[in-house]
Amino acid sequence: MTQTLDRDAFFIGGTWRAPATAETLQVVSPHTEEVVATVPAGSPADVDAAVAAARQAFDTGPWPRMSPQERIEVVQAFSGLYAARLAEMADLISLEMGSPTSFSNLAQAPAPWMMVEAFLGIAREFPWEETRPGALGADVIVRREPVGVVAAIPPWNVPQFTTMSKVVPALLAGCTVVVKPAPETPLDAYLMAELLAEAGVPDGVVNFVAAGREVGEHLVAHPGVDKVAFTGSTAAGRKIASVCGEQLKRVSLELGGKSAAIVLDDADLGATMEGLKFIGLMNSGQACVAQTRILASRRNYAAVVDALAETVSSMAVGDPMDPATEVGPMVAQRQQERVEKYIALGQEEGARVVVGGNGRPDGLDRGWYVRPTVFADVDNRMRIAREEIFGPVLSVIPFDDVDDAVRIANDSDYGLAGTVWTGDQEAGLDVARRVRAGTYGVNTYTMDFAAPFGGHKASGIGREFGPEGLAHYTELKSIYPTTPGM
Ligand code: NAD
């Protein structure tokens, strides 16, 4: 890319507006450790301006008063524009956070676009206003109205995926939005803002202010915000939920995970390894749904560990822009250090490194790389089995029988995702029904945007995607039309 990616303004109130302070964010390539762009860092004053614009657009602007069909047409135009820029979007995300281009061209840009298309279909069928027979003999009108001004706070790991899952249902419902992109990944958000403006979203309906945590806290607590939609760490989710609880703000939280993949003895080991490679190490292990606890029966344990060791050791680690790369760098040095600390901790806890371990991958002295690592002899009580590492580290845990496997899978603070690998579809579905997780795959893990996605337990509150994900941006209102004779 020859053209500069630097920016000097925020998208607020439908225009590119100068920042309130001279503070900047530097976007650093995790592969080269070089600054690739400089953008303004949002301050509380910028957030105040963005919330004021969103508030005005909600309270007096056309967007919440348009028909759902009129809003669908604008979002449809956005979808068309977005579809034409997928490769560019994928490249921006690989550049700013190091996602392997193979993953970016699947999940970082095309998947968010597919999500928009799915939400458009859902919005066309959604019961925005229905008349139902009342219990008192007269009909009742039930309306789903926009919840108001939404604060959308995504993380850096899948920035467009987690922004789209909030902005698009919010728009379709008639809400207005302030997006606070993570400081590591502002560049994709700038492109998204341009495309929304080009699609004809009215002024003030969507506003973007990239900033760090403290400014995020200011946005969450802002009295002009009606609902917070957050994706990120469980620690931040707890804080946000407590502020929203105090203020009685609507809140939805998509948080961390420590999901388990259960490998039953009748699983096709080759196909299972292909699956585990993806669901365990996608996005270099920086995925909330990553299934990093691999549960194998004691009888089949050695075979699973050997197959996994062979699979992971053959994965290509390196430059995210190389199409052959399967594992790229960590997003930042602090994330590299965090993963290395967990690898050391696993060894202290008595787990056995069968692949990887600390040290840099061969030939990668620059960039925030770690070695993809597989631990065997892991006990589910160890911290490496309980805490989210958010890097390419898998733990293989033995189980006695299917009941024991389900018990171990459920013995977690989290409950976001999971899979079972088996030759028996019915047995797989039985396990799927018993694991306490918001999403579950049998011999696969593919998110379907028609179905709700979210977590049990410390993995979050609420759901994204599907009609349930759209409903989170609406408030219910019941209208009792005059009953004759009353
Ligand atoms: P993080 O919680 O540190 O930050 C996420 C976002 O929230 C960033 O934009 C950050 O600036 C902001 N933020 C942080 N603290 C805040 C606060 N108190 N108030 C307001 N805003 C705040 O998380 P991260 O390190 O950027 O992302 C990784 C985490 O996200 C992992 O735990 C991962 O599991 C989770 N995640 C979950 C999902 C999901 O759908 N469940 C998807 C992707 C990532």
CA 109 to chain centre: 13
List of residues 6+ apart from 380 with CB closer than 8 A: 293, 386, 397, 408, 411
Q: Is the CB of 251 under 6 A from ligand 1?
A: no
Eight-class DSSP state of 227: E
Does residue 155's CB lie within 6 angstroms of at least one atom of ligand 1?
yes
Helix (H) or strand (E) holding 341: helix 333-348
For ligand 1, say whether the CB of 162 is within 6 Å of any of its atoms: yes
What is the set of domains in the chain, with CATH numbers?
10-255+459-478 (3.40.605.10), 260-448 (3.40.309.10)
Which helix (H) or strand (E) segment is 96 a member of? helix 86-97
User: What pLDDT sits at residue 483?
Assistant: 67
Give the C-alpha separation, 372 to 356, whole Å.
5
- What's the 156 CA to ligand 1 centre distance in angstroms? 8
- C-alpha count within 13 angstroms, C-beta hemisphere, residue 105: 13
Please identify, by atom number, the ligand 1 atom nearest to the C-alpha of residue 256: 34
Task: Render each residue's pLDDT in the chain as its tens digit; 486 residues.
Answer: 457 999 999 999 999 999 999 999 999 999 999 999 999 999 999 999 999 999 999 999 999 999 999 999 999 999 999 999 999 999 999 999 999 999 999 999 999 999 999 999 999 999 999 999 999 989 999 999 999 999 999 999 999 999 999 999 999 999 999 999 999 999 999 999 999 999 999 999 999 999 999 999 999 999 999 999 999 999 999 999 999 999 999 999 999 999 999 999 999 999 999 999 999 999 999 999 999 999 999 999 999 999 999 999 999 999 999 999 999 999 999 999 999 999 999 999 999 999 999 999 999 999 999 999 999 999 999 999 999 999 999 999 999 999 999 999 999 999 999 999 999 999 999 999 999 999 999 999 999 999 999 999 999 999 999 999 999 999 999 999 976 565
Measured on CA atoms in the order 374, 315, 454, 452, is the torsion positive or negative? negative
C-alpha distances (whole Å) from 65 to each of 60, 119, 226 are 9, 20, 17
Question: Best substitution site from 184, 219, 286, 288 to test ligand 1's pocket, by max atoms within 8 Å of Cβ?
Answer: 288
Distance CA 281, CA 315 (A): 10
Which atom of ligand 1 is least distant from the CA of 416? 41
Give the CA count within 13 Å in the CB-facing half-sphere of 270.
0
Return the closest-CA partner of residue 133 out of 142, 125, 124, 146.
142
Strand duo 176-179 + 418-421: pairing: unpaired
For residue 237, give the ligand 1 atom closest to its CA: 2
Is residue 474 helix, strand or coil? strand
* pLDDT attached to residue 3: 75
pLDDT of 98: 98
What is the DSSP annotation of 427-443? Answer: HHHHHHHHS--S--EES
For 41, 116, 169, 173, the CA distances from 122, given in Å and listed in that order, are 36, 10, 10, 11
Give CA–CA dist 102/419, Å, rounded: 23
Cα 254 to ligand 1 centre (Å): 9
C-alpha angle with apex 381: 380 to 387, nearest 5 degrees?
85
Sign of CA dihedral 56, 60, 65, 70: negative
Ligand 1 pocket test, candidate residues 43, 96, 108, 157, most atoms within 8 A of CB: 157
Is the CB of 184 within 6 Å of ligand 1?
Answer: no
The structure's pTM equals 0.97
Neighbours of 39 (CB within 10 A): 23
Q: Where are the beta strands (DSSP E) in 322-408?
A: 352-355, 373-376, 393-399
The answer, yes or no, to whether any atom of ligand 1 lies below 6 A from the CB of 213, is yes
Question: What's the 213 CA to ligand 1 centre distance in angstroms?
Answer: 9
End-to-end CA distance of the chain: 71
**Burial (CB count <10 Å: 0-12, 13-18, 19+), residue 156:** buried
Specify whether the CB–CB gap between 237 and 441 falls below 8 A.
no
Answer whether 167's CB lies under 8 Å from 473's CB: no
Residue whose CA is closest, atom 38 of ligand 1? Answer: 288
Burial letters 359-398, b for 16+ CB under 10 A, else e: ebbeebeebbbbbbbbbbbbebebebbeebbbbbbbbbbb
Residues tagged active-site: 254, 288
The H or E element spanning position 77 is: helix 68-83
Beta strands in 258-312 (DSSP E): 259-263, 291-297
Residue 154 Cα, ligand 1 centroid: separation in angstroms?
6
Annotate 127-149 with DSSP letters as a single string: -SEEEEE-TTSSEEEEEEEE--E
Give the type of residue at 397.
Answer: I
